[in-house]
Copies of this chain bind each other. A is one copy, B any other.
Amino acid sequence: MADFIEPKILKGFRDFLPPAEIARKNLVEKIERFFRSYGFVPIDTPALEYAEILLGKGGGETEKQIYRFRDNGDRDVALRFDLTVPFARFLAEHRADLCFPFKRYHIAKVWRGENSQRGRYREFTQCDMDIVGSDSAASDFEILHIMASTLPAIAGGDVIIRINHRGLFNRFLSRLGVLDSSVNILRSVDKLAKIGRDETLALLSEFAGENNAKEILDYIGISGDFNQTLVAMTAAAGPCAESERLGLIYEFMVDAGISSAVVLDPSITRGLDYYTGIVFESFLAEMPGIGSICSGGRYDNLLGLYSADKKNALTGVGTSIGIDRLIAGLEALGRLQTAPSYAQAAIACVAESSGGAYQALARKFRDQGIPCEVFLEEDKLSKQFQMAEKKGLRWFIIPDAANPLGGKLTLRDLSKRESREGLTLEEVSAVLK
């Protein structure tokens, strides 16, 4: 036995069996159709990059999680842990060949050697879209518009998009005189849901003083309809361009008929992310507890790592759909669209010697857009029915033994366990279409 290898997969990694992979492909293909319909274009970048490119000057948490090693040429390389950093490198390298504002999407695997105890995966799919090179409110709004049209269609139910503006929050902190502590304040605010109001207040008091801490909690607790909330936030932060921008984006949403999907929520901060303008998270209305299924925001100067020249800065706004979380949510809601196969029907193997005719017959169905499998091994029909059922097929076509290509066909409905004999190819097609 020592000569044999145990067929095992790495912890935190997954195989996708056909029903899971078909579900994922269905979802991704639907998302891509939406992205494309807005004129977003796909790109791809390598899974491996120089570690220096991926880690930048930072490191920290990322450095601990990244798969980093020396390649056969002794280069210090790493697997990408997100699609944003490689995108920045891509923009810096290909800027002259691109049209700005550049609207791109990228759906690909990324790898993080996280502690996989909490059921987190070390390999997962990211699905990002960004508009780079426009600072317009129209581009912020376009990202929200895509989310408001795509997410309910793929979720099969309502989705709530919660938006905020990091710049407006900073104005508010500045007014309180605690902007210098914004990192610690953001970190504390981010914990609110986890540790509760009292502990958050205690934490905030440490960094901002007790009175300010209360004001911060009041600010992030502002609620009401969009306009009411915006008025209250503006009263707290003072009139400013950021508040005006939120107002303009809301007008766009009203004009486009998507305002009911969007909530202005000053508690959305996206933690320590690099966002500087609007930020957003979105939730399945029937299952908000699983967390945000699509988040993002506006950032400044994506190319800061590569150039000091502010004239070269590229600002952008983007969003990322959490494919794995969305799949988990749809599965729990019983709405995950999957199937054991793409085939609609299979053709029985009545005699192995007719293999050529069976493929010719199947091709007639395929040419009409009906995916059709051919069974390859002669066996009792009852066994073949069982196999077709196990494959999740509804229809089973039994060709004539003497004239498999030109003769009459029997069509079995495996769900009803009923057969109809003596049908022409056209009659069978009509049922299957």
Residues of A that sit less than 8 Å from B by CB: 3-11, 13-18, 21-22, 24-25, 36-39, 41-50, 52-53, 56-57, 64-65, 67, 69-73, 75, 77, 79, 88-90, 92-94, 97-99, 101, 103-104, 109, 111, 113, 122-123, 131, 134, 136-139, 141-142, 145, 149, 248, 251-257, 305-308, 340-343, 346, 349, 352-360, 362-363, 366, 371-374, 376-377, 387, 390-391, 405
Would you call the interface of chain A mostly helix, strand, loop, or mixed? mixed
How many angstroms between the C-alpha atoms of A256 and B249 in the bound complex? 60
Residues of B within 8 A of A16 (CB): 42-45
Q: Please tell me if the beta carbons of A141 and B355 are within 8 angstroms of each other in the complex.
A: yes
Residues of B within 8 A of A17 (CB): 43, 94, 97-98
Sort A-B residue pairs by CB-CB distance and give the 7 closest, nearest first: A255-B356, A39-B373, A69-B69, A252-B356, A39-B343, A7-B92, A18-B41
How many angstroms between the C-alpha atoms of A90 and B72 in the bound complex? 28
Question: Given A142-B355, A251-B356, 6 more contacts at CB 8 Å?
Answer: A5-B52, A36-B343, A47-B123, A138-B377, A141-B356, A256-B357
Q: Can you list 15 A-B pairs, Cβ within 8 angstroms, ordered by A?
A: A4-B305, A5-B52, A5-B306, A9-B89, A13-B48, A15-B94, A17-B94, A18-B42, A21-B44, A39-B341, A39-B373, A67-B71, A69-B69, A136-B352, A257-B360
How many angstroms between the C-alpha atoms of A64 and B72 in the bound complex? 8
Residues of B within 8 A of A93 (CB): 7-9, 15
Given A18-B42, A18-B104, A142:B67 Cβ within 8 A = no
Residues of B within 8 A of A53 (CB): 5, 7-8
Residues of B within 8 A of A90 (CB): 15
Q: Please tell me if the beta carbons of B342 and A36 are within 8 angstroms of each other in the complex.
A: yes
Partner of A357, one of B11, B70, B75, B255: B255
Q: Please tell me if the beta carbons of B256 and A10 are within 8 angstroms of each other in the complex.
A: no
Residues of B within 8 A of A72 (CB): 64-65, 67, 113
Q: Please tell me if the beta carbons of A341 and B41 are within 8 angstroms of each other in the complex.
A: yes
Residues of B within 8 A of A353 (CB): 248, 251
How many angstroms between the C-alpha atoms of A21 and B106 in the bound complex? 10
How many angstroms between the C-alpha atoms of A5 and B358 in the bound complex? 60
A87 nearest CB across to chain B (Å): 10
Residues of B within 8 A of A141 (CB): 355-356, 359
How many angstroms between the C-alpha atoms of A98 and B356 in the bound complex? 26
Closest to A64 in B: B72
Closest to A101 in B: B376
Q: Please tell me if the beta carbons of B255 and A50 are within 8 angstroms of each other in the complex.
A: no
How many angstroms between the C-alpha atoms of A57 and B52 in the bound complex? 35
How many angstroms between the C-alpha atoms of A110 and B232 in the bound complex? 54
Q: Please tell me if the beta carbons of B41 and A22 are within 8 angstroms of each other in the complex.
A: yes
Partner of A363, one of B36, B256, B371: B256
- From A48, A104, A356, A374, name the one whose CB has the most chain B CB atoms within 10 angstroms: A356
Q: Please tell me if the beta carbons of B8 and A48 are within 8 angstroms of each other in the complex.
A: no
Partner of A5, one of B44, B56, B142, B356: B56
Q: Please tell me if the beta carbons of A101 and B377 are within 8 angstroms of each other in the complex.
A: yes
Residues of B within 8 A of A254 (CB): 356
Q: Please tell me if the beta carbons of A8 and B360 are within 8 angstroms of each other in the complex.
A: no
Residues of B within 8 A of A97 (CB): 17
How many angstroms between the C-alpha atoms of A139 and B139 in the bound complex? 52
Partner of A359, one of B89, B256, B305: B256
Q: Please tell me if the beta carbons of B142 and A374 are within 8 angstroms of each other in the complex.
A: yes
Residues of B within 8 A of A340 (CB): 41, 99
A258 nearest CB across to chain B (Å): 8
How many angstroms between the C-alpha atoms of A46 and B110 in the bound complex? 11
Q: Please tell me if the beta carbons of B306 and A4 are within 8 angstroms of each other in the complex.
A: yes
How many angstroms between the C-alpha atoms of A73 and B306 in the bound complex? 32
